[in-house]
Amino acid sequence: MAGEPTDEAWTVLSGLHRVLLHLAGRMPDDWMTTTRAMLGGGELGYMPDMISGGAAGLGVALPAEDIALLRRVQADYAGPEEPAGLELVPVAAQLPPTGYRFAPARTGEAPEPDEHDDSAVALNLDPVVAAVARAWRTGPDGGAPTRVFLVEVDPGAEAWTVGHDLAGMLDWSPERPVPQIEVYWTGEPLPPYHVAALAGALPLWRREGGPAPADPGLELVERLVDAALRRDLDGLRRAIDWPLTGAPRVAARLAEVEPAERDEWAGDMVPRLFTAGDTVEGVLQVLRQVVVLVGDDPTVHRPDAEEAREVLDRLLVPAVPGLGGEPAARLAELARRAEALSEVYLVRGGPTLLPLVWAPDTDRLVLVYE
C-alpha cells in the first residue's frame, strides 16, 4: 500500500475510482483497464479528458456529481479548459443496468475455483482486502464469457491501488477475453453492474473475522416494508421492478387475443409495461394492495427451495405465438431476465403472504401477487 493520501488527494482519487465504477460494464473492457492503470499511476491531469472523451464518444451517461468532479480535477491538475467533450456527456439521474449476465461457472462446468482464481486470492491477501469473488460474465448477444474478479476492501483503503499485482498477472494471462477486476469498498452502495456481478459470483475467499456478506435483496425488502408501513407510496413505487412484475400477465393476455389483433394489442400493452410505474397514479391500485399485504406488523423470511421455485415459476414470461417486431423483442428480454431471478423473500403481515423477488440487474423487487 502507498502512503496515506492527504484529505484533498483522497477526495479526488476515491472520487475518480467511483466514476470508473459507474462506467464498468458500460465502457469497453480495454478502455477500463487503461484508464484504471492511469489512475493507479497518479496521472490525474489526463483523467478528465480520458473519461469525458470516452463517455461522450459512446454516449454513456454519468451522474451530475461525476461530471462536476471531472471539471474540478481538470481545473486543479490540467488547466482551465473544459474536459474534452464533457458538454456531450448525458447526465444520468440513475445508473442503468448493463444487460450483462453473471454466473458462478461457465455453461456445463461446476462452480469451482481454478488456478486463476487461486492466484487471484493469493495476490490479494493485502490486510485491507476483506473478500474476493469471481463471476463469469456474458453479454446479451452471447459470446465467450469473461472472468470478473470482485475484490472487497475496507472503507478508507486505497481501492485504486489494490489489485495492481493481480492486473499485472492478468496482462500475462493467455485467457481471452482478458479477465476484469472490480475493487469496491465494504458497505458502499454499488452500481447495478456490480450488484448483479456479486449476485452471480462464486465466493473465493473471505477474511476471518471480516464483515459478513451483505444481502442487498433483503435490505431492499426491508426498505419496501418500511415504506409500506409509513404509507410512502412513492418510496414503494421506486422499489419495484414494474416491467418484470407485469410481464407474465401481459404475455398471458396477449396469447389469448385473436391472432389478427395480437400485434395491435401488443403495440399498446408492451410499451405500457415500461411506463406504468413512472408515477404513483399509474400504479396506485397495486401500491394500495401492497400496503394491505404488508400489514401492520410484518415479518420477512426466506422460503425453502420448493417454495422459492414455485414463486419463481410464477414470474416466467410465457411465449406469445406469432408475435413479432419490437414488442416480441422486449418481451423476450423480460423473459430472459425472469429466468435469471433466484432470490425470493416472503413478507407475512397482511391477509396473505406477499412474495418478493430481487432483480439484481435493476436492484428492484418484483411483486408476485394475485
pLDDT of residue 370: 65
pLDDT at 87 exceeding the cut of 80: yes
Which residues are bridge partners to 206 per DSSP?
131
Q: Is 17 in contact with 39 (CB distance < 8 Å)?
A: yes
What percent of the chain clears pLDDT 90, i.e. is strictly above it?
51
Model pLDDT, residue 214: 67
Q: pLDDT-based confidence at 4, cuts 50/70/90?
A: low
pLDDT in tens, 272-297: 999 988 899 999 999 999 999 999 89
Q: Is the pLDDT of residue 363 over 90?
A: no
Contacts of range 331-338, beta carbons closer than 8 Å, 24 or more positions apart: 331/247, 331/250, 331/251, 331/270, 333/140, 334/243, 334/244, 334/247, 334/273, 335/247, 335/251, 336/101, 337/244, 337/361, 338/244, 338/247, 338/248
CB atoms within 10 A of CB 173: 13
User: For position 2, what pLDDT does the model report?
Assistant: 44
> What mean pLDDT do residues 121-145 have?
84
Q: Using the predicted structure, report yes or no on whether residue 71 has a pLDDT greater than 70.
A: yes
Residue 277: what pLDDT?
Answer: 87
- Give, in order, the Cα–Cα distances in Å from 179 to each of 24, 142, 143, 206, 325: 13, 17, 14, 20, 36
* Cα–Cα distance for residue pair 225/298, rounded to 1 Å: 8
pLDDT in tens, 256-272: 999 889 999 999 999 99
User: pLDDT tens across 172-229, in order?
Assistant: 667 778 889 999 998 888 898 998 899 889 999 888 866 666 677 888 899 999 999 9
Asked if pLDDT for residue 1 goes beyond 60, the answer is no
Query: CA of 288: how far to CAs of 76, 273, 280, 328, in Å?
Result: 51, 19, 10, 31
Is the Cβ–Cβ distance between 182 and 150 less than 8 Å? yes
How far apart are alpha carbons 357 and 241 in whole angstroms?
10
Residue 181's pLDDT is 92
**CA-to-CA distance for 139 and 145, rounded, in angstroms?**
8
pLDDT at 304 over 50: yes
- pLDDT tens track for 172-183: 667 778 889 999
Rounded to an integer, what distance in angstroms lies between the CA atom of residue 219 and that of residue 226? 11
Please state the rounded mean pLDDT for residues 131-146: 88
Instruction: Specify the pLDDT at position 224.
Output: 94
Averaged over 132-154, what is the pLDDT?
90
pLDDT of residue 96: 85
Cell output for 79: 488547466
Q: What is the pLDDT of residue 5?
A: 59
User: 3-state SS of the chain?
Assistant: CCCCCCHHHHHHHHHHHHHHHHHCCCCCHHHHHHHHHHHHCCCHHHHHHHHHHHHHHHCCCECHHHHHHHHHHHHHHCCCCCCCCHHHCCECCCCCCCCCEEECCCCCCCCCCCHHHHHHHHHCCCCCEEEEEEEEEEECCEEEEEEEEEEEECCCCCCCCCCHHHHHHHHHCCCCCCCEEEEEECCCCCCHHHHHHHHCCEEEEECCCCCCCCCHHHHHHHHHHHHHHCCCHHHHHHHECHHHHHHHHHHHHHHHCCHHHHHHHHHHHHHHHCCHHHCCHHHHHHHHHHHHHHCCCCEEECCCHHHHHHHHHHCCCCCCCCCCHHHHHHHHHHHHHHHCCCEEEEEECCCCCEEEEEECCCCEEEECCC
Whole-number average pLDDT of the chain: 88
Largest CA distance in the chain: 71
pLDDT of residue 314: 94
